[in-house]
Amino acid sequence: MGSYRRKRDSGSEGGGGLRTQIHTKRFEEKRRSIYVKKTSKEIEVKTQVYIPKDLYEKVSSLAPKVYGIYRGALSRAVVEGLELWLFYRVKQTPSGVVIHTNPRLPLRDRYNAVLQCIDLEFAGIPITVPQKAMERCIMETFNIKDYRSIYGWLHRFYLAGLIKPLTIPKIEKPSQWKNNKSIEIVAKKL
């Protein structure tokens, strides 16, 4: 159930009884500590976070000096920090589309990084590569150790048409890569 807010009717319906409004915003359904500022009527939400003790001590001692007030200075500092965090990570276009300013590298750039590792290992990029060498380069480049993740990357490269398995004619799911022995490199570095 959502949280309820009761408001007085203006008296137009049924003689001025209480009417209940259900808040549909997601955070208002989850939170019980919602406050409305008396002066500006802004809605604020009380929440609890865990931060390192030394960071808390630095901010709680500096915030009153920066804002010139003691009460509410820590909240202002936290709000300013969160707004700055969002500013660097999310950009909204005039049409309302949200663009992440730090997206993951495109698949082709990740593939080029793996090819660079292969180039260093073989002193050039050969047409065929043992799958173990490709797996080693994926492990080093992406800093992963789980074979399921490695097979997932091999499968993504295969679906994009960048590599082809030579031992198995057609691979339909990532787990089938464990039976393959060698890979043909279809796409060279850009």
Q: Is the pLDDT of residue 149 over 80?
A: yes
Return the H-helix or E-strand segment holding 67: helix 53-67
Residue 25 lies inside a defined structural domain of this protein: yes
- Of the pLDDT bands very low, low, confident and very high (cuts 50, 70, 90), residue 16 is very low
What is the mean predicted confidence (pLDDT) over 162-171? 89
- Tens of pLDDT, residues 92-128: 767 766 666 656 678 888 999 999 999 999 988 899 9
125 & 95 share domain:
no
Rounded to an integer, what distance in angstroms lies between the CA atom of residue 10 and that of residue 178? 71
* CATH code at position 111: 1.10.10
3-state SS class at 10: coil
115 & 161 share domain:
yes
Select the more confidently predicted residue: 85 or 59.
59
96 & 111 share domain:
no
3-state SS class at 118: helix
82 & 36 share domain:
no
59 & 82 share domain:
yes
Rounded to 10 degrees, what is the CA torsion of 79, 84, 88, 93? Answer: 70
Q: Output the pTM of the full model.
A: 0.48
**Domain count along the chain:** 3
Residue 190 lies inside a defined structural domain of this protein: no
pLDDT at 13: 46
Task: State the residue range of the domain holding 153.
Answer: 107-185
pLDDT at 1: 44
Residue 146 lies inside a defined structural domain of this protein: yes
126 & 152 share domain:
yes
66 & 99 share domain:
yes
